Amino acid sequence: MQREVGTLPLAPALRARLAAAGFQTAQELLDTGPCGLSKEIGISREEALEALQVVRQECHGDAARTAGESGATRRCTALELLEEEQTQGFIITFCSALDNILGGGVQLTKITEICGAPGVGKTQLCMQLAVDVQIPECFGGVAGEAVFIDTEGSFMVDRVVDIAAACVQHCHLIAEAQQEQDHWEALETFSLENILSHIYYFRCRDYIELLAQVYLLPEFLSEHSKVRLVVIDGIAFPFRHDFEDLSLRTRLLNGLAQQLIIVANDHKAAVVLTNQMTTRIGQSQSMLIPALGESWGHAATVRLIFHWDNSQRLATLYKSPSQKESTIAYHITSHGFRDVQPPAVTHSAEGTELNPRKRPRTEEEEK
């Protein structure tokens, strides 16, 4: 009730008038009443009534909040955060080298940005993740659903079908090797049609549609609470033409990044963005850097840069709060995103603790 007038959610012009008329606390407003208010600051009775309703609601909300627990701001200790982070799932990429440098895979509640030249595999990784997020928990996945926002039109569903079929096949082979009941139960719902039906696809043709779609994301994620991955492929394309005013672009991108951070945190989802590369012309040579400018570099928590070295594709972890910078090689096969060399053959399973995501590789599978 002692709340200051300046902190109430009223229109700025109205707040200015109230301050000029000498009102300081919410209680004073409520005591004056609508008729007195309309006379004092020269607004209509209806407007005064509405303003008072807002004030009353706010005060009630305040009371409930202070009576109960904290509400909008959470208080917890670093130990609680550590425990939460350690039990957090990762979305695996099927390339164990990449998973290792990421610390387990693509992390939930964080924004990961993938930058690279055209053709290096950014969209392939996004499609792989959209399938991998759905892997059941008994196989080491997070059993979630995926939202795929496409701005370039590069989402080819035939390719997703190949990737999904390979993933289902992989899980089948694990289940056969380990012969556990819950594996077979999980596999009943982990089929090609199921995987495809849980990838929600949105096509945005310009930046307005993209901004509108991101505004609607929190509501969509509340309705579809199993979504654990939001992919935006690519974020640079709609913002790199048509912008005479670069400061407008920076402001819009910052707003977008903030909304995505909120979405990632509130809904425990991983947000994956793909970015283009642009040339920076230095004194003696030119090099490729991620597009959208320096300030956009702060938006993502984790940044991966994909590039070529002769004919080998490489992934560099360029920015991460917890992992060190390193580079690994990867392949894109007909099954999707994979390692370059298969990991060392593991001999018979009894006695050794098997990673539930991996199955023993046999000689014929080397690619």
Partner 1 sequence: MDWDQFDLNPKTIAALKKADIKSVKEIFNLSGADLQRLMKLSSADIQCLLKTVSHTLRRNSMLTALQLYQDRDHLTSQHQKLSLGCSVLDNLLKGGIPLVGITELSGESSAGKTQISLQLCLCVQYPYKYGGLESGAVYICTEDVFPSKRLQQLIDQQQKLRADVPAEVIQKIRFGNSIFIEQAADLDTFQQCITRRLSLLLARGMVRLVVIDSLAALFRCEFGPSESALKARYLQTFGAQLHSLSTRFRTPIMCINQVMDAVSESEAAQCSCRALGNRVTPALGITWSNQLLMRLMVSRVSLPGHSSGVASHRAGSMRTLSVVFAPHLPPSFCYYTVQLEGVKGIK
Interacting residues toward partner 1 by CB under 8 A: 9-14, 54, 117-120, 123-124, 130, 148, 152-161, 193, 195-203, 205-206, 208-209, 211-213, 215-216, 219, 236-237, 240-242, 248, 251-252, 255, 276-279, 281, 288, 308-311, 332, 334
**What is the rounded radius of gyration, in angstroms, for the C-alpha atoms of the chain?**
26
CB of 86 to partner 1, least distance (A): 32
Name the DSSP letter for residue 94.
S
Could you tell me which residues are beta bridge partners of residue 275?
115
Minimum separation from the CB atom of position 135 to partner 1 (A): 16
Decide: 148 and 154 in contact? Cβ < 8 Å: no
Q: What is the nearest approach in angstroms of partner 1 to the Cβ of residue 317? A: 20
Closest distance to partner 1 from the beta carbon of 48 (Å): 14
Looking at the Cβ atoms of 14 and 138, the one nearer to partner 1 is 14
Q: Which strand (E) or helix (H) includes residue 164?
A: helix 157-178
- The residue (of 183 and 313) whose beta carbon lies closer to partner 1 is 313
Spatial distance between the Cα atoms of 26 and 4, rounded to a whole number of angstroms: 6
Shortest CB 344 distance to partner 1, Å: 27
- Whole-number minimum distance, CB 224 to partner 1, in Å? 10
- Both tokens assigned to 54: 């807002």
Distance of CA 133 to the CA centre of its chain: 12
Q: Which of 273, 244, 251 is nearest to 150 (CA)?
A: 273
Q: Which is nearer to partner 1, 175 or 232 (CB)?
A: 232
DSSP string covering 49-111, please?
A: HHHHHHHHHHHHHHHHHHHSS-TTS----HHHHHHHHHH--EE--S-HHHHHHHTSSEETTSE
Which residue number, 51 or 174, has a Cβ lying nearer to partner 1?
A: 51
Cβ neighbours, 10 Å, residue 91:
29
| CA nearest neighbour of 296 among 256, 241, 244, 243 | 256
CB 128 within 8 A of CB 173: no
Rank residues 289 and 354 by Cβ distance to partner 1 and give the closer one.
289
Report the residue number, 210 or 264, with the smaller CB distance to partner 1: 210
Minimal distance, residue 55 CB to partner 1, in Å: 11
Nearer to partner 1, 90 or 148 (CB): 148
Cα 255 to chain centroid distance, Å, stands at 14
Q: What angle (nearest 5°) sits at the alpha carbon of residue 232, between those of residues 89 and 198?
A: 60
Give me the least distance between CB of 44 and partner 1, in Å please.
Answer: 12
Residue with smaller CB distance to partner 1, 197 or 362 = 197
Pairing of strands 286-290, 106-107: unpaired
Any idea what DSSP says for residue 230? E
Beta bridge partners of 258: none
Contact 97, 257 (CB under 8 A): no
